[in-house]
Amino acid sequence: MDDARIPFQRSLRPEEPAESQMSWQQLDGERLSQDPDWPASACWALSYVKMHNMLLQEARQIQSEGQQAQEEQHGRTGLEAVTIASSLKLLKNEVFSLCPMHFLISGIVVSFVLTTLSFMVPWVQGQLVDVAVSEAAKYAKDGPEAVDIGAALFEPILLLSVLMFSSYLCEIMVGILFAICGHTTVTRLRIKLFQNLTEQEIAFYDSHVSGELSSRLINDSQALSSLTQFTTQTVLGAVVKFAGSLLAMFATHPKLALLATIITPINMVLVKRTGKTVGFYGVVQNHAMAKANAVAVEVLGSVRTVQSNVGEQYEAEFFMHRLNRYLRIIKATVYLETVLRFTQYGLSKVRNIVVLAVAMNQVITGQLTIGSYTAFAQYVTLYEDGFKNLADIWINFKQTITSTGKFIQLLLRQPDFAFDQGLQPTNCLGRLHLKDVSFAYASRPDHQVLSSINLEANPGDVVALVGESGAGKSTLGRLLLRHYDPTSGHIFFDALDYRSLNLRWLRAQIGFVEQEPVLFDRTLEENIAYGSAKGAPMKDIQEAASRANAHNFISTLQNGYNTHPGERAARISGGQKQRVAIARAIIRNPKLLVLDEATSALDSENEHIVQQALDELMNGRTTFVIAHRLSTVIGATKIMVLDKGYVIEEGSHSELVARENSRYGSFMKHQLVSPLLS
Ligand SMILES: Nc1ncnc2c1ncn2[C@@H]1O[C@H](COP(=O)(O)OP(=O)(O)OP(=O)(O)O)[C@@H](O)[C@H]1O
């Protein structure tokens, strides 16, 4: 459903307390009945049918959108829509290859033993009943002296006890072994997906929200865990139980066996249909959870903005709306599964009565012993158990495979840029050459952001890029970091084409300092060492911090280098954050520096301190500065003025100001009024 259909969007007024706006009752019930998708009908069945149709439609839409997006954006091979066949292949190649094999094999062996034991128990019980019946007849005829009850019962009871105790132990072991299998597999799957997500090209993140991806990572994979755990644990036992008990029933009494299995085809049709429908529900369910998670992650990550704009109640309702969709789908699934269970339960009760009546007739006419009937009745229970397990596995399998399609696609997605291929030159000078570089973002292919950019820069050169907002300055910086490839033209690094170089190697040669640098909520020591691929000793970290003018302020913090700066470095100032980011760039000793408006957000005192740190960093390297303050570009070797993606002027500061009517000159005049160009 479209967000535009939120019935209560912005309905809250800040002065009204939250309690007067929504209660748990509303959250859970009233809101649903007010929702046009869940009419307040007296007949829940009608509401359910409406809901069912809506969910099927939505599931198909989500699936076709996913498929279309894949085909359009990537044209990748091997990423066709997830079918049962491709999913089975995935299960085989990915999921089961991640299973701890020794636990899996032990589990299979123990569950085989368990199944064998479960067949022996009814047989021994039947024997015991027949012994008891025959001893009872002797007792009635010849009196107590003719019967040694203890001797007659000892052997079968001992055997039964051993069998029962062994199956009890096996059951416990099977549970533990398969639980370990399931949890280990899902943990490995999550790690694999996480790694795969971190390696996707930046363009992928232009069209995916991080909250949605984290939901796929955590919630969708949970379903695969229960699938591996549940399926491996029960599938073997269920097949053996189902087939074995069928054989045993027919061997004991073919006519009764036929009667007992007469409802099986109806049950099979019911299970098949339910499995398919629950699968579609699962698609919408995971999608709804991902959307709800996206709201939670975004809002909690921007809670300062939310509170500054008095948006708490609105966000709570927005989240409630998204989560309620999830709840409704769960309810629809529960309704459907309940209908299935009731139908199956009812049919089996009728069948049991008919079988009992016919069996008693056979006992009376001497065609069946009571012992054989006891065994037969237990085989019917085993058969039912086996069928129920197989049905549950099928429904679970269909639901998981259909609903985790997105997870599977993400897991198998190959990034556009391979990380581990390409050249890794041993010597790197840092010479940069851009030849006729043009670029448009994939999401807006008709909007040319950069056009025919040419540039040559050598170590020690500082190239400054100036231009109005939206001119394409940051985009050029992103091309230098190889977040995107030019749509035409080439970038050469030490005369080697960017595309031919190993991506990890290339990025290790580049230091990047952003306007709003991101620090992780790990210690400052770890944040600085983050720039060094192999980790760095404390001595180097402190030296980098000193050169970045960060050591003094870090030393005054209570925990020094062990200080956690908080999420988004909220516990330190903007200038301090910049200096830690510069230290992080210094420690990697980059050959090429990309500075994106690194000082523009700072006051003049902080700017001075950070600029000193930057001068230290730029020394002897090829530097590319995206600048808004002209003070930072005056000393540049070359200044390029960008306008709508074209370089309209280039030269040194003195050359450009000397030109008549130059755009740079007008920027300079403008800056007398405002310190910022854009
Ligand atoms: N990820 C993206 N997807 C699509 N278009 C984008 C993307 N990022 C930027 N753009 C567009 O590309 C153009 C250039 O943006 P860019 O951020 O490079 O400009 P800029 O010169 O750095 O601007 P500013 O000085 O305001 O940061 C703008 O029209 C912008 O809307």
Is residue 100 exposed (0-12), middle (13-18) or buried (19+ Cβ within 10 Å)?
middle
Query: What is residue 675's predicted lDDT score, i.e. its pLDDT?
Result: 45
- Angle in degrees, CA 334, 335, 338, rounded to 5: 80
Q: Rounded to the nearest whole angstrom, what is the distance from the C-alpha of residue 474 to the centroid of ligand 1?
A: 7
DSSP-derived pairing of the beta strands 496-497 and 488-493: antiparallel
Q: Which atom of ligand 1 lies at the shortest distance from residue 628's CA?
A: 25
Return the sign of the alpha-carbon dihedral for residues 272, 274, 280, 286: negative
Q: Give yes or no for residue 19 having a pLDDT over 50.
A: no
The ipTM, to two decimals, is 0.97
Q: How far apart are CA 325 and CA 39, in angstroms?
A: 14
678 lines ligand 1 (CB under 6 A): yes
Would 674 be classed as within a structural domain?
A: no
Where residue 440 falls among pLDDT bands split at 50, 70, 90? very high
Candidate from 474, 484, 515, 641 with most ligand 1 atoms within 8 A of CB, to mutate:
474
State whether 389 and 525 are in the same domain: no
Question: Domain range holding 562?
Answer: 519-589
The residue ranking higher by pLDDT, 602 or 531, is: 531
- For residue 147, give the 3-state DSSP assignment: coil
443 lines ligand 1 (CB under 6 A): yes
Question: What length does the chain have?
Answer: 678
Average pLDDT of the residues in 476-481:
92
Residue showing tokens 């300079």: 668
The dihedral over CA atoms of 665, 666, 668, 673, expressed in degrees to the nearest 10, equals 160
- Nearest residue to 107 (alpha-carbon basis) of 232, 279, 14, 226: 232
Q: Mind listing the pLDDT tens digit for each residue in 488-542? A: 999 999 989 999 999 888 988 898 888 778 888 888 888 898 877 666 788 888 8
469 lines ligand 1 (CB under 6 A): yes
620 lines ligand 1 (CB under 6 A): no
Q: Rounded to the nearest whole angstrom, what is the distance from the C-alpha of residue 284 to the centroid of ligand 1?
A: 34
- For residue 437, give the 3-state DSSP assignment: strand
Would 49 be classed as within a structural domain?
A: no
Q: Rounded to the nearest whole angstrom, what is the distance from the C-alpha of residue 307 to the centroid of ligand 1?
A: 28
Structure tokens at 298: 């975004």
441 lines ligand 1 (CB under 6 A): yes
E strand segments, 399-487:
432-439, 450-457, 462-467
Where residue 482 falls among pLDDT bands split at 50, 70, 90? very high
13 lines ligand 1 (CB under 6 A): no
473 lines ligand 1 (CB under 6 A): yes
Q: Give yes or no for residue 16 having a pLDDT over 60.
A: no
450 lines ligand 1 (CB under 6 A): no
445 lines ligand 1 (CB under 6 A): no
Q: How far apart are CA 204 and CA 161, in angstroms?
A: 61
Query: What is residue 2's predicted lDDT score, i.e. its pLDDT?
Result: 41
* CATH code, 577: 3.40.50.300
Query: What is residue 486's predicted lDDT score, i.e. its pLDDT?
Result: 94
451 lines ligand 1 (CB under 6 A): no
The protein residue whose alpha carbon is closest to atom 12 in ligand 1 is 449
| C-alpha 653 chain-centroid distance | 50
Q: Give yes or no for residue 310 having a pLDDT over 80.
A: no
Q: How far is CA 2 from CA 5, 63, 192, 211, 269, in A?
A: 6, 16, 32, 18, 35
Residue showing tokens 């706006």: 21
CB atoms < 10 A from the CB of 524, how many?
A: 27
Q: Which range has the top average pLDDT, 350-354, 474-478, 520-524?
A: 474-478
474 lines ligand 1 (CB under 6 A): yes
The protein residue whose alpha carbon is closest to atom 7 in ligand 1 is 441
Where residue 484 falls among pLDDT bands split at 50, 70, 90? very high
Q: Mind listing the pLDDT tens digit for each residue in 628-658? A: 777 678 888 899 999 888 989 888 888 888 8
Residue that is last in its domain, among 363, 392, 412? 412
State whether 253 and 137 are in the same domain: yes
Q: What percent of the chain has pLDDT over 70?
A: 83
535 lines ligand 1 (CB under 6 A): no
Would 497 be classed as within a structural domain?
A: no
* CATH code, 132: 1.20.1560.10
Q: End-to-end alpha-carbon separation of the chain, Å?
A: 39
644 lines ligand 1 (CB under 6 A): no
430 contacts 494 by C-beta, under 8 angstroms? yes
**Structural domain count, the chain:** 2
- For residue 625, give the 3-state DSSP assignment: strand
492 lines ligand 1 (CB under 6 A): no
Would 22 be classed as within a structural domain?
A: no
Annotate 26-88 with DSSP letters as a single string: IIIIIHHHHSTTS---S-HHHHHHHHHHHHHHHHHHHHHHHHHHHHHHT--TT-----HHHHH
Q: Give yes or no for residue 439 having a pLDDT over 90.
A: yes
Q: How far apart are CA 241 and CA 105, in angstroms?
A: 19
DSSP-derived pairing of the beta strands 592-596 and 450-457: unpaired
Q: Mind listing the pLDDT tens digit for each residue in 76-86? A: 433 334 455 55
Candidate from 475, 595, 663 with most ligand 1 atoms within 8 A of CB, to mutate:
475
Q: Rounded to the nearest whole angstrom, what is the distance from the C-alpha of residue 441 to the centroid of ligand 1?
A: 9
639 contacts 626 by C-beta, under 8 angstroms? no
Would 26 be classed as within a structural domain?
A: no
- Nearest residue to 119 (alpha-carbon basis) of 352, 363, 383, 373: 383
Q: Rounded to the nearest whole angstrom, what is the distance from the C-alpha of residue 470 to the centroid of ligand 1?
A: 5
The dihedral over CA atoms of 560, 561, 563, 569, expressed in degrees to the nearest 10, equals 120
Q: How far apart are CA 480 and CA 490, in angstroms?
A: 11
Structure tokens at 486: 């030019």
State whether 386 and 243 are in the same domain: yes
Residue-averaged pLDDT of the chain: 79
Q: Rounded to the nearest whole angstrom, what is the distance from the C-alpha of residue 468 to the centroid of ligand 1?
A: 11
Is residue 575 exposed (0-12), middle (13-18) or buried (19+ Cβ within 10 Å)?
buried
- Nearest residue to 599 (alpha-carbon basis) of 516, 658, 506, 505: 516
| 451 Cβ contact partners less than 8 Å away, ≥ 6 residues apart | 438, 645, 646
The protein residue whose alpha carbon is closest to atom 30 in ligand 1 is 470
471 lines ligand 1 (CB under 6 A): yes
Average pLDDT of the residues in 353-363:
88
201 lines ligand 1 (CB under 6 A): no
Q: Mind listing the pLDDT tens digit for each residue in 560-593? A: 888 888 877 777 888 888 888 888 888 888 889 8
478 lines ligand 1 (CB under 6 A): no
Candidate from 473, 514, 667 with most ligand 1 atoms within 8 A of CB, to mutate:
473
Residue showing tokens 């954050």: 577
- For 674: left if phi > 0, alpha if psi spans -120 to 50, otherwise beta; the answer is beta
Q: Rounded to the nearest whole angstrom, what is the distance from the C-alpha of residue 472 to the centroid of ligand 1?
A: 6
Structure tokens at 336: 């459907």
State whether 229 and 349 are in the same domain: yes
Q: Mind listing the pLDDT tens digit for each residue in 533-550? A: 666 788 888 888 888 888
State whether 555 and 407 are in the same domain: no
The residue ranking higher by pLDDT, 232 or 24, is: 232
Return the sign of the alpha-carbon dihedral for residues 68, 70, 71, 73: positive
501 contacts 421 by C-beta, under 8 angstroms? no
The protein residue whose alpha carbon is closest to atom 5 in ligand 1 is 441
Average pLDDT of the residues in 264-282:
83
Q: Rounded to the nearest whole angstrom, what is the distance from the C-alpha of residue 431 to the centroid of ligand 1?
A: 26
Q: Which atom of ligand 1 lies at the shortest distance from residue 475's CA?
A: 18
The protein residue whose alpha carbon is closest to atom 8 in ligand 1 is 475
Q: Rounded to the nearest whole angstrom, what is the distance from the C-alpha of residue 469 to the centroid of ligand 1?
A: 8
The protein residue whose alpha carbon is closest to atom 16 in ligand 1 is 472
State whether 408 and 538 are in the same domain: no
State whether 393 and 529 are in the same domain: no
202 lines ligand 1 (CB under 6 A): no
Would 604 be classed as within a structural domain?
A: no
- Which range among 61-75, 117-131, 464-478, 637-651 shows the weakest confidence by mean pLDDT? 61-75
Residue that is last in its domain, among 377, 395, 412? 412
Residue that is last in its domain, among 547, 562, 589? 589
The protein residue whose alpha carbon is closest to atom 3 in ligand 1 is 441
515 lines ligand 1 (CB under 6 A): no
State whether 394 and 524 are in the same domain: no
Would 655 be classed as within a structural domain?
A: no
The protein residue whose alpha carbon is closest to atom 2 in ligand 1 is 441
Would 408 be classed as within a structural domain?
A: yes
The 8-class DSSP code of residue 423 comes to: B
| 201 Cβ contact partners less than 8 Å away, ≥ 6 residues apart | 415, 416, 417, 483, 484
Candidate from 449, 479, 625, 630 with most ligand 1 atoms within 8 A of CB, to mutate:
449
- Nearest residue to 112 (alpha-carbon basis) of 230, 229, 234, 228: 234
201 contacts 416 by C-beta, under 8 angstroms? yes
442 lines ligand 1 (CB under 6 A): no
| 287 Cβ contact partners less than 8 Å away, ≥ 6 residues apart | 58, 62, 406
